[in-house]
Amino acid sequence: MPTIQVSTEEMTKQLHFTREIRNWNEAYTATTGRVRTACVRTFGCQMNEHDSEKLSGMLTQMGFLMVPEYSVNEEPKIADLILFNTCCVRENAEEKVYGHLGALKGAKRIKPTMITGVCGCMTEQPHAVEEIRRVYKNVDLVFGTRAAHKLPEYLHQVIFDNKRVLEVSKTEGEVAEGVPVERADDLKAWVTIMYGCNNFCSYCIVPYVRGRERSRKATDILAEVRGLVENGIQEITLLGQNVNSYGKDLEDNDGITDFADLLDLLCRETEIPRIRFMTSHPKDLSDRLIAAIARNKSVCNQLHLPVQSGSSRVLKEMNRKYTREEYLDLVARIRKAVPEITLSTDIIVGFPGETEADFEQTLSLVEQVRYDSAYTFIYSKRVGTPAATREDQVPEDVVKARFDRLLALQNSIGREINDGLVGRTLEVLCEGPSRTNEDRMTGRTEGNKIVNFIGGDGNLRGKMVRVHIDHAQTWSLEGTAEL
Ligand code: SAH
Ligand code: SF4
Ligand code: F3S
C-alpha cells in the first residue's frame, strides 16, 4: 500500500482549531494578565522525544506558554495543560506513566480547570485507553501517535464542547507534513524520515502501536534539513524504526530509491556538518549503505546496530531474520569499509526459552564484536505480541543474574576501548559547559562519545574543537582542548 499524506484540507482544518484556541488563550490573558501554561512530558525513545517537539510546536501555536516542569500540589505552578507522551516498549515504561497520572489526580482537585492529556505509543493500545477511561477520570484527553497532528481538534472539543475525548486510532497511519516544531536544542536536531515498523519482531509492541512503515518524501526531508542548517543546526539525527527500508513504500520519490540515496542527497545539497541516524535493522543493511557511510564525510562514523541476541536459535524465534554468523559477517564488512566506526547495540536478556547456552552465545558475540556501548534490556512481556503467550518464560532471578553478567562484560569492554583512545586527539562538537562541572566543556566525538574537557575561552558552544584525550572512563572521556 502506498503511503498516504494527510491532506492539505485536513491540515487547514487543524489550523482553524489552532486559531480558535489561540483566541481563547489571548482573551484569558487580556482579562487575567496571565498566560496559560502547558507542559509536555516525554517517556519514550528519540522518536517520542521528537514527537514531543511537535506537540510543543502545536501548543505554542495555540498560544500556550511551554514550561519545562509542573507541580502537582502548588496551585500557581500546576500547568494549565499537562500532556504525557508515553511509551509502552517495556512494562516499566507504562508503570511510570500510571504512577504520574495517579499523582495528577490531586492536582486536578486543587485546580479543576487544568487539562490532562495522554498520548503516544501506550494510548495506541485499546486496553490502555480503557484502563485510563475507568481508573483515571482526571484525564480529559487521550489519543495515539498516529493521530498526533489532530491535537488542535481534540483539544478544541475538550475546551469548547466540555467533552472527555478518548480516541483510538482507526488508520494504519499517514504522514503529516507542516506540523510546527518547537525544538529543544539549537545545535542538534531530530529529523524523522519514516514512521512505523513492518518487522514484527516477536517480542516487540512497536509495529502494533506505530502502524505500518511510511516514509516522508525526500524533498520534504531536504527542505527541513536546509531550514535547520540555516538556523545554525550542526548535527541531525535521522529517525526511523528501520531506516534501512526508507523509501520502499514510496512510488515516486524524485529518484531517491533508498536510504543510501537519501544520505547522498543530504550531503550533496546541504552543508550539514554531522549526520547520524537510527535505527538500522541488520537484515536490511546494504552494501550500498555501507559505501554511503564510508563516502560521505558528514555521515558520522557511528552505527547503532541492534543484535538482540547472540544465539541464532533465539534470533529465529525473535523473528529477526538474520543469524549470528550473518550479523558477524555484516560487522566485519562494515569495519573493513569504515575502520574507525564506533558500534553500539541493543540486547534483550531472558527472551522466552533462552537457555544458559543461548545466553553464553550472547556473551561471546559481545566479546567478539567489542561494542563501544550497548543498551541492555530485561525481556518484558507485551500484550498482543507472540512471545508474550509463550509458556517457557525465563524465571526472574535467572534473567537478573544473566543481565548483571552481560552488563559487567560490556562495561569492561567499553572501558578498554575508551582507554585505547587516551593520547589521541579527537574532534568534538562542543555543546557548552558540562552540567556537572561548570568549569569544563562537554561535547561529543564523531563516534558519539562524550568528552568533557578543559581549556578554551568558554565560548566554544557550537564549535568543532580538537581535544587531546587525557583520561578515560566507562561512559566518557576527559581531555584538554588544543587551541
Ligand atoms: N526499531 C529499533 C528499536 C525499537 S525499541 C530496532 O529494531 O532496533 C528499542 C529496543 O527495545 C529494541 O531494540 C529492543 O532491544 C528493546 N525491546 C523491544 N521490545 C522489548 C521487550 N518486549 N522487552 C525488552 N526489550 C524490548
Ligand atoms: Fe520492534 Fe523489531 Fe520493529 Fe525494531 S524492528 S521496532 S525491535 S519490531
Ligand atoms: Fe519509542 Fe516507546 Fe514508542 S520506544 S516507538 S516511545 S513504544
pLDDT the model gives residue 26: 98
Q: Which of 243, 272, 300 is the last residue of a domain?
A: 300
Whether 308 and 295 share a structural domain? no
Number of H helices, E strands in the chain: 13, 19
pLDDT at 4 over 90: no
Per-residue pLDDT tens digits for 99-119: 999 999 999 999 999 999 999
Whether 41 and 88 share a structural domain? yes
In a domain, 174, yes or no: no
pLDDT the model gives residue 165: 95
**Among residues of the chain, what percentage have pLDDT more than 70?**
99
Nearest to 209 by CA among 160, 143, 295, 288: 143
pLDDT at 329 over 80: yes
pLDDT the model gives residue 437: 84
The CA distance from 24 to 136, in Å, is 27
Instruction: Verify whether ligand 3 is closer than 6 Å to residue 45 (CB atom).
Output: yes
Give the pLDDT band (50/70/90) at residue 5: confident
CA dihedral for 337, 260, 274, 372, sign (positive or negative): negative
Q: 112 is written with which cell numbers?
A: 479543576
pLDDT the model gives residue 204: 98
pLDDT the model gives residue 365: 98
Secondary structure of residue 237 in the 3-state scheme: strand
Q: Which of 276, 300, 324 is the last residue of a domain?
A: 300
DSSP 420: T
In a domain, 60, yes or no: yes
pLDDT at 227 over 90: yes
Instruction: Verify whether ligand 1 is closer than 6 Å to residue 444 (CB atom).
Output: no
DSSP 73: S
pLDDT at 398 over 90: yes
Per-residue pLDDT tens digits for 177-194: 989 999 999 999 999 999
Per-residue pLDDT tens digits for 245-258: 999 999 999 999 99
DSSP 339: T
Whether 30 and 153 share a structural domain? yes
Secondary structure of residue 369 in the 3-state scheme: helix
Output the CA 45–ligand 1 centroid distance in Å. Answer: 10
Whether 286 and 335 share a structural domain? no
Q: Residue range 27-45: average pLDDT?
A: 97
The CA distance from 93 to 98, in Å, is 9
Q: State how many domains the chain has.
A: 4
Whether 339 and 384 share a structural domain? yes
Residue of the CA atom closest to atom 15 of ligand 1: 346
Whether 415 and 429 share a structural domain? no
Residue of the CA atom closest to atom 1 of ligand 3: 45
Whether 450 and 323 share a structural domain? no
Q: Residue range 423-430: average pLDDT?
A: 97
CATH of the domain at 370: 3.30.750.200
Instruction: Verify whether ligand 3 is closer than 6 Å to residue 385 (CB atom).
Output: no
Contact indicator for 177, 6 with CB cutoff of 8 Å: yes
Output the CA 220–ligand 3 centroid distance in Å. Answer: 24
Instruction: Verify whether ligand 2 is closer than 6 Å to residue 304 (CB atom).
Output: no
The CA distance from 325 to 67, in Å, is 49
pLDDT the model gives residue 458: 67
In a domain, 179, yes or no: no
**Lowest-confidence range among 72-81, 82-91, 281-290?**
72-81
Output the CA 51–ligand 1 centroid distance in Å. Answer: 18
Output the CA 50–ligand 2 centroid distance in Å. Answer: 18
pLDDT the model gives residue 1: 62
In a domain, 470, yes or no: yes
pLDDT the model gives residue 153: 97
Whether 460 and 390 share a structural domain? no
pLDDT the model gives residue 137: 94
**Lowest-confidence range among 46-60, 94-108, 371-385, 450-464?**
450-464
Q: Which residues share a beta bridge with 443?
A: 430, 451
Nearest bound ligand to CA 347?
1
Instruction: Verify whether ligand 3 is closer than 6 Å to residue 48 (CB atom).
Output: yes
Residue range(s) defining the domain that contains residue 277: 185-300
Cβ-in-10-Å burial (0-12, 13-18, 19+) of 172 comes to middle
Q: Which of 246, 280, 300 is the last residue of a domain?
A: 300
CATH of the domain at 17: 3.40.50.2300
Q: Residue range 391-401: average pLDDT?
A: 97
Instruction: Verify whether ligand 1 is closer than 6 Å to residue 380 (CB atom).
Output: yes
pLDDT the model gives residue 119: 97
pLDDT at 172 over 80: no
pTM of the model: 0.95
In a domain, 286, yes or no: yes
Q: Which atom of ligand 2 is nearest to the CA of 319?
A: 2
Instruction: Verify whether ligand 1 is closer than 6 Å to residue 204 (CB atom).
Output: yes
Whether 80 and 99 share a structural domain? yes
Antiparallel, parallel or unpaired: β 441-445 and 425-433: antiparallel
pLDDT the model gives residue 2: 67
Whether 68 and 142 share a structural domain? yes
Instruction: Verify whether ligand 2 is closer than 6 Å to residue 241 (CB atom).
Output: yes
pLDDT at 287 over 90: yes
Q: 379 is written with which cell numbers?
A: 525481556
CATH of the domain at 198: 3.30.750.210
Output the CA 203–ligand 1 centroid distance in Å. Answer: 8
| Residue 379 CA, distance from chain mean position | 19
Q: Residue range 210-233: average pLDDT?
A: 96
In a domain, 343, yes or no: yes
Nearest bound ligand to CA 279?
1
Secondary structure of residue 417 in the 3-state scheme: helix
In a domain, 12, yes or no: yes
Q: Which residues share a beta bridge with 465?
A: 428
In a domain, 180, yes or no: no
Residue of the CA atom closest to atom 1 of ligand 2: 204
The CA distance from 408 to 24, in Å, is 55
Output the CA 9–ligand 2 centroid distance in Å. Answer: 33
Whether 276 and 390 share a structural domain? no
Whether 240 and 258 share a structural domain? yes
Q: Average per-residue pLDDT in the chain? A: 95
